[in-house]
Amino acid sequence: MKIIATENELEKVSSILVDLATEYPVVAFRGDLGAGKTTLIKNMCNLLGLKEAVNSPTFSIVNEYKLVENKSVFHFDFYRLESEEEAYDIGVEDYFYEGNLCLIEWPSKIESLLPEKRIEVYIEIANKGREFTINQIN
């Protein structure tokens, strides 16, 4: 599915992703630097009711945001990884299969570790906003 949205319309895209994430809890965001990956993730977290600040975990690799009912959102940023081994060492596969929502920036750095069932979100800068392509991978 393709959606073109301005920054004011991100809630529409976020709402679609939050709905899909009930069946596909791992969401991989792909796009160039500045494409809006973190902004979209912040918007999704707002829709989920998070009150805390959502920031890209560029240096920590993963941030955990607590939801109600002992659920969490794990926000990954693999931009600075040198190898998949680093992600493997932090137990990334355990995160992916716990049933919590996992939002991943720079998934290309850990391609072979991604679960087969996931959502892929491609973000491209368009003339009047961003073009989002959302694919459900089984």
Q: What is the pLDDT of residues 27-53, one digit of tens each?
A: 999 999 989 899 999 999 999 888 777
Position 59 pLDDT exceeds 80: no
121: left (phi over 0), alpha (psi -120 to 50) or beta: beta
Cα 43 to Cα 82, 95, 98, 108, 118: the distances in Å are: 29, 21, 23, 22, 19
Instruction: Show the beta-strand stretches assigned E in the chain.
Output: 2-5, 26-30, 62-66, 72-77, 101-105, 118-126, 129-137
Domain extent for 41: 2-137
pLDDT score for 124: 92
pLDDT score for 54: 83
Mean pLDDT taken over the chain: 90
pLDDT score for 108: 96
pLDDT score for 67: 82
Give the torsion through C-alpha atoms of 6, 51, 57, 3, to 10 deg: -20
pTM higher than 0.85 for the full model?
yes
CA distance 44 to 18: 7
Query: Is-contact 76 103, C-beta < 8 A?
Result: yes
When divided into structural domains, the chain yields a total of 1
Phi, psi at 100, each rounded to 5°: -85, 160
CATH number for 9 = 3.40.50.300
Percent of the chain with pLDDT over 90: 64
Q: What is the pLDDT of residues 94-124, one digit of tens each?
A: 999 988 999 999 999 999 999 999 999 999 9
CA distance 124 to 21: 21
pLDDT score for 55: 77
